[in-house]
Amino acid sequence: MRKKLLREIPSYLFIFLGCLIMALGMNLFLVPNRIAAGGLSGIGIVVYTLFNFPVGMTVLILNIPLFLISWKVLGTSFGVKTLFATLCFSFAVDGTAFLEALTYDMFLATLFGGVFVGAGLGLIFRQEATTGGTDLAAAIIHKFVPSFSVGQLLLAIDAVVVLMAAAVFKQYEIALYASVSIFITARVIDFVVVGINYTKAAYIISHRSEKISGRVLKELNRGVTELKGRGMYTGMDRPVLMCVLRSRDIPHMKKIVQEEDPEAFIFISDVREVLGEGFSYEQKR
Protein backbone atom coordinates (compact mmCIF):
# COMPACT_ATOMS: atom_id res chain seq x y z
CA MET A 1 0.00 0.00 0.00
CA ARG A 2 2.81 2.38 0.93
CA LYS A 3 4.64 1.74 -2.35
CA LYS A 4 1.43 2.36 -4.29
CA LEU A 5 0.93 5.69 -2.51
CA LEU A 6 4.53 6.70 -3.26
CA ARG A 7 4.03 5.86 -6.94
CA GLU A 8 0.97 8.11 -7.04
CA ILE A 9 2.76 11.17 -5.63
CA PRO A 10 4.12 12.35 -9.03
CA SER A 11 0.62 12.00 -10.49
CA TYR A 12 -0.85 14.29 -7.83
CA LEU A 13 2.01 16.76 -8.31
CA PHE A 14 1.21 16.94 -12.05
CA ILE A 15 -2.46 17.47 -11.23
CA PHE A 16 -1.51 20.31 -8.90
CA LEU A 17 0.75 21.82 -11.59
CA GLY A 18 -2.05 21.55 -14.13
CA CYS A 19 -4.47 23.30 -11.79
CA LEU A 20 -1.93 26.07 -11.17
CA ILE A 21 -1.40 26.62 -14.91
CA MET A 22 -5.17 26.76 -15.42
CA ALA A 23 -5.51 29.26 -12.57
CA LEU A 24 -2.84 31.49 -14.13
CA GLY A 25 -4.67 31.37 -17.45
CA MET A 26 -7.86 32.40 -15.71
CA ASN A 27 -6.47 35.28 -13.64
CA LEU A 28 -3.90 36.64 -16.09
CA PHE A 29 -6.12 36.55 -19.18
CA LEU A 30 -9.72 35.33 -19.00
CA VAL A 31 -11.18 36.76 -15.78
CA PRO A 32 -9.99 40.38 -16.20
CA ASN A 33 -11.26 40.39 -19.78
CA ARG A 34 -14.58 38.72 -18.88
CA ILE A 35 -14.04 35.86 -21.34
CA ALA A 36 -16.35 33.16 -19.99
CA ALA A 37 -15.12 30.24 -22.07
CA GLY A 38 -17.73 27.70 -21.03
CA GLY A 39 -17.85 25.34 -18.07
CA LEU A 40 -18.31 26.19 -14.41
CA SER A 41 -15.32 28.51 -14.60
CA GLY A 42 -17.26 30.54 -17.15
CA ILE A 43 -20.17 30.81 -14.74
CA GLY A 44 -17.65 31.77 -12.06
CA ILE A 45 -16.39 34.65 -14.22
CA VAL A 46 -19.96 35.92 -14.71
CA VAL A 47 -20.67 35.76 -10.96
CA TYR A 48 -17.36 37.47 -10.17
CA THR A 49 -18.05 40.29 -12.62
CA LEU A 50 -21.57 40.87 -11.24
CA PHE A 51 -21.03 40.34 -7.51
CA ASN A 52 -17.23 40.31 -7.01
CA PHE A 53 -17.55 36.80 -5.55
CA PRO A 54 -14.38 34.66 -5.93
CA VAL A 55 -14.31 32.53 -9.08
CA GLY A 56 -12.75 29.52 -7.38
CA MET A 57 -15.30 29.51 -4.59
CA THR A 58 -18.14 29.69 -7.11
CA VAL A 59 -16.72 26.71 -9.00
CA LEU A 60 -16.34 24.76 -5.75
CA ILE A 61 -19.89 25.55 -4.58
CA LEU A 62 -21.35 24.51 -7.94
CA ASN A 63 -19.28 21.32 -7.96
CA ILE A 64 -20.52 20.12 -4.56
CA PRO A 65 -24.06 19.17 -5.69
CA LEU A 66 -22.63 17.69 -8.91
CA PHE A 67 -20.34 15.42 -6.91
CA LEU A 68 -23.17 14.38 -4.61
CA ILE A 69 -25.46 13.61 -7.54
CA SER A 70 -22.64 11.80 -9.34
CA TRP A 71 -21.97 9.69 -6.27
CA LYS A 72 -25.60 8.60 -6.24
CA VAL A 73 -26.17 8.25 -9.99
CA LEU A 74 -22.75 7.22 -11.34
CA GLY A 75 -21.12 5.70 -8.27
CA THR A 76 -17.55 6.65 -7.35
CA SER A 77 -16.31 6.43 -10.93
CA PHE A 78 -15.17 10.07 -10.93
CA GLY A 79 -12.33 9.05 -8.58
CA VAL A 80 -10.24 10.59 -5.85
CA LYS A 81 -7.99 12.32 -8.37
CA THR A 82 -10.90 14.24 -9.85
CA LEU A 83 -11.96 15.36 -6.38
CA PHE A 84 -8.37 16.42 -5.67
CA ALA A 85 -8.15 18.29 -8.99
CA THR A 86 -11.45 20.07 -8.34
CA LEU A 87 -10.31 21.29 -4.93
CA CYS A 88 -6.86 22.28 -6.21
CA PHE A 89 -8.29 24.25 -9.11
CA SER A 90 -10.77 26.14 -6.94
CA PHE A 91 -8.14 27.12 -4.37
CA ALA A 92 -5.50 27.86 -7.02
CA VAL A 93 -7.82 30.27 -8.85
CA ASP A 94 -8.62 32.21 -5.68
CA GLY A 95 -5.05 31.93 -4.43
CA THR A 96 -3.66 33.63 -7.54
CA ALA A 97 -6.47 36.18 -7.89
CA PHE A 98 -4.13 38.94 -6.66
CA LEU A 99 -2.15 38.80 -9.92
CA GLU A 100 -2.55 41.65 -12.38
CA ALA A 101 -3.76 40.98 -15.89
CA LEU A 102 -0.94 40.67 -18.42
CA THR A 103 -3.04 42.15 -21.21
CA TYR A 104 -6.40 43.70 -21.90
CA ASP A 105 -6.16 43.03 -25.60
CA MET A 106 -9.08 40.68 -26.25
CA PHE A 107 -7.31 38.70 -28.96
CA LEU A 108 -4.18 38.09 -26.88
CA ALA A 109 -6.24 37.26 -23.80
CA THR A 110 -8.33 34.78 -25.78
CA LEU A 111 -5.27 33.14 -27.32
CA PHE A 112 -3.09 32.84 -24.21
CA GLY A 113 -6.00 32.13 -21.89
CA GLY A 114 -6.99 29.19 -24.08
CA VAL A 115 -3.39 27.95 -24.25
CA PHE A 116 -2.88 28.10 -20.47
CA VAL A 117 -6.20 26.45 -19.62
CA GLY A 118 -5.70 23.80 -22.30
CA ALA A 119 -2.16 23.01 -21.12
CA GLY A 120 -3.35 22.70 -17.52
CA LEU A 121 -6.30 20.48 -18.41
CA GLY A 122 -4.06 18.37 -20.62
CA LEU A 123 -1.74 17.65 -17.70
CA ILE A 124 -4.73 16.76 -15.53
CA PHE A 125 -6.24 14.48 -18.18
CA ARG A 126 -2.89 12.68 -18.51
CA GLN A 127 -3.28 11.66 -14.87
CA GLU A 128 -6.76 10.22 -15.57
CA ALA A 129 -8.55 13.02 -13.72
CA THR A 130 -10.77 15.98 -14.57
CA THR A 131 -11.76 19.14 -12.72
CA GLY A 132 -15.35 17.96 -12.37
CA GLY A 133 -17.77 20.63 -13.47
CA THR A 134 -19.45 20.20 -16.85
CA ASP A 135 -17.80 16.79 -17.34
CA LEU A 136 -19.83 15.48 -14.41
CA ALA A 137 -22.94 17.40 -15.46
CA ALA A 138 -22.79 15.95 -18.97
CA ALA A 139 -22.23 12.43 -17.61
CA ILE A 140 -25.24 12.77 -15.29
CA ILE A 141 -27.53 14.04 -18.06
CA HIS A 142 -26.28 11.32 -20.42
CA LYS A 143 -27.29 8.73 -17.83
CA PHE A 144 -30.92 9.85 -18.14
CA VAL A 145 -30.86 10.93 -21.80
CA PRO A 146 -28.57 8.39 -23.51
CA SER A 147 -29.69 9.51 -26.97
CA PHE A 148 -27.25 12.43 -26.60
CA SER A 149 -23.54 11.68 -26.31
CA VAL A 150 -21.42 13.18 -23.55
CA GLY A 151 -19.60 15.26 -26.16
CA GLN A 152 -22.85 16.73 -27.49
CA LEU A 153 -23.99 17.57 -23.99
CA LEU A 154 -20.66 19.23 -23.17
CA LEU A 155 -20.97 21.32 -26.31
CA ALA A 156 -24.53 22.32 -25.39
CA ILE A 157 -23.60 23.25 -21.81
CA ASP A 158 -20.63 25.35 -22.94
CA ALA A 159 -22.80 27.09 -25.54
CA VAL A 160 -25.37 27.97 -22.86
CA VAL A 161 -22.66 29.39 -20.58
CA VAL A 162 -21.14 31.46 -23.40
CA LEU A 163 -24.53 32.86 -24.47
CA MET A 164 -25.45 33.57 -20.84
CA ALA A 165 -22.24 35.56 -20.39
CA ALA A 166 -22.88 37.49 -23.59
CA ALA A 167 -26.42 38.33 -22.46
CA VAL A 168 -25.31 39.39 -18.97
CA PHE A 169 -22.43 41.55 -20.21
CA LYS A 170 -24.50 42.79 -23.19
CA GLN A 171 -21.42 42.37 -25.39
CA TYR A 172 -22.02 39.61 -27.88
CA GLU A 173 -18.52 40.04 -29.27
CA ILE A 174 -17.34 38.44 -26.02
CA ALA A 175 -19.22 35.27 -26.98
CA LEU A 176 -17.17 35.08 -30.17
CA TYR A 177 -13.92 35.45 -28.25
CA ALA A 178 -15.09 32.83 -25.72
CA SER A 179 -15.86 30.41 -28.55
CA VAL A 180 -12.37 30.91 -29.96
CA SER A 181 -10.88 30.32 -26.51
CA ILE A 182 -12.85 27.06 -26.15
CA PHE A 183 -11.51 25.89 -29.51
CA ILE A 184 -7.92 26.76 -28.61
CA THR A 185 -8.28 25.04 -25.24
CA ALA A 186 -9.53 21.84 -26.90
CA ARG A 187 -6.66 21.83 -29.43
CA VAL A 188 -4.00 22.38 -26.73
CA ILE A 189 -5.51 19.60 -24.57
CA ASP A 190 -5.21 17.22 -27.51
CA PHE A 191 -1.61 18.25 -28.12
CA VAL A 192 -0.59 17.85 -24.47
CA VAL A 193 -2.33 14.50 -23.96
CA VAL A 194 -1.39 12.61 -27.08
CA GLY A 195 -0.99 14.73 -30.19
CA ILE A 196 -2.69 17.24 -32.42
CA ASN A 197 -5.65 15.06 -33.40
CA TYR A 198 -8.44 14.45 -30.92
CA THR A 199 -9.37 10.90 -31.85
CA LYS A 200 -6.94 7.99 -32.01
CA ALA A 201 -7.19 4.38 -33.12
CA ALA A 202 -5.24 1.98 -30.92
CA TYR A 203 -4.13 -1.44 -32.15
CA ILE A 204 -3.04 -3.95 -29.52
CA ILE A 205 -1.39 -7.31 -30.14
CA SER A 206 -1.29 -9.43 -27.01
CA HIS A 207 -1.78 -13.00 -25.84
CA ARG A 208 -4.02 -11.58 -23.09
CA SER A 209 -6.47 -9.90 -25.45
CA GLU A 210 -9.56 -11.12 -23.57
CA LYS A 211 -8.44 -9.49 -20.31
CA ILE A 212 -7.42 -6.26 -22.01
CA SER A 213 -10.62 -5.93 -24.06
CA GLY A 214 -12.75 -6.66 -21.01
CA ARG A 215 -11.11 -3.88 -19.01
CA VAL A 216 -11.31 -1.39 -21.90
CA LEU A 217 -15.02 -2.12 -22.27
CA LYS A 218 -15.65 -1.78 -18.54
CA GLU A 219 -13.31 1.03 -17.51
CA LEU A 220 -13.30 3.21 -20.63
CA ASN A 221 -16.76 2.34 -21.94
CA ARG A 222 -15.33 2.01 -25.45
CA GLY A 223 -16.03 -0.75 -27.95
CA VAL A 224 -13.23 -3.09 -28.97
CA THR A 225 -13.04 -5.03 -32.23
CA GLU A 226 -10.97 -8.18 -32.59
CA LEU A 227 -9.20 -8.57 -35.92
CA LYS A 228 -7.59 -11.77 -37.09
CA GLY A 229 -3.82 -11.48 -37.40
CA ARG A 230 -0.90 -13.77 -38.07
CA GLY A 231 2.74 -13.29 -37.22
CA MET A 232 4.66 -14.03 -40.42
CA TYR A 233 7.88 -14.77 -38.53
CA THR A 234 6.37 -17.23 -36.06
CA GLY A 235 3.50 -18.37 -38.27
CA MET A 236 1.19 -18.16 -35.26
CA ASP A 237 -2.33 -16.75 -35.33
CA ARG A 238 -2.87 -13.94 -32.88
CA PRO A 239 -5.83 -11.56 -32.38
CA VAL A 240 -5.37 -7.83 -32.94
CA LEU A 241 -7.54 -5.53 -30.86
CA MET A 242 -8.68 -2.29 -32.44
CA CYS A 243 -10.24 0.47 -30.39
CA VAL A 244 -11.10 4.08 -31.26
CA LEU A 245 -10.53 6.35 -28.27
CA ARG A 246 -10.71 9.94 -27.22
CA SER A 247 -7.24 11.41 -26.68
CA ARG A 248 -7.82 11.74 -22.95
CA ASP A 249 -8.47 7.97 -22.72
CA ILE A 250 -5.10 6.98 -24.20
CA PRO A 251 -3.12 7.13 -20.89
CA HIS A 252 -5.70 4.88 -19.21
CA MET A 253 -5.62 2.44 -22.12
CA LYS A 254 -1.82 2.24 -21.95
CA LYS A 255 -2.01 1.60 -18.22
CA ILE A 256 -4.48 -1.28 -18.75
CA VAL A 257 -2.27 -2.91 -21.36
CA GLN A 258 0.86 -2.45 -19.26
CA GLU A 259 -0.78 -4.06 -16.24
CA GLU A 260 -2.21 -7.00 -18.17
CA ASP A 261 0.66 -7.69 -20.57
CA PRO A 262 3.90 -5.67 -20.34
CA GLU A 263 5.11 -7.40 -23.53
CA ALA A 264 2.11 -6.38 -25.62
CA PHE A 265 2.69 -4.54 -28.89
CA ILE A 266 0.74 -1.28 -29.30
CA PHE A 267 0.59 1.29 -32.03
CA ILE A 268 -1.65 4.33 -32.17
CA SER A 269 -2.71 6.12 -35.33
CA ASP A 270 -4.50 9.39 -36.02
CA VAL A 271 -8.16 9.31 -36.96
CA ARG A 272 -9.36 12.28 -38.97
CA GLU A 273 -13.08 11.82 -38.44
CA VAL A 274 -15.23 9.40 -36.47
CA LEU A 275 -19.00 9.07 -36.88
CA GLY A 276 -21.01 6.68 -34.76
CA GLU A 277 -22.13 5.96 -31.24
CA GLY A 278 -20.07 7.77 -28.65
CA PHE A 279 -18.17 9.94 -31.13
CA SER A 280 -20.56 12.00 -33.28
CA TYR A 281 -19.81 15.67 -32.67
CA GLU A 282 -17.54 14.67 -29.83
CA GLN A 283 -14.63 16.81 -30.91
CA LYS A 284 -14.75 18.45 -27.52
CA ARG A 285 -12.85 18.38 -24.25
Q: How far apart are CA 22 and CA 89, in angstroms?
A: 7
Region 199-271: CATH code? 3.30.70.120
In tens, the pLDDT along 83-107 reads 899 999 999 999 999 999 999 999 9
**Mean pLDDT on 123-136:** 82
Name which of 22-31, 33-42, 189-198 the model is least confident about.
189-198
Give yes or no for residue 235 having a pLDDT over 60. yes
* Chain mean pLDDT for the chain: 84
CATH 3.30.70.120 domain range(s) in the chain: 199-271
pLDDT band at 285 (very low <50, low <70, confident <90, very high): very low
Count, in order, helices (H) and strands (E) of the chain: 10, 4
pLDDT band at 77 (very low <50, low <70, confident <90, very high): low
**Mean pLDDT on 213-230:** 87
In tens, the pLDDT along 255-273 reads 899 899 998 999 888 776 6
Contacts for 278 with CB less than 8 Å, ≥ 6 apart: 149, 221, 222, 223
Residue type for position 17 = L
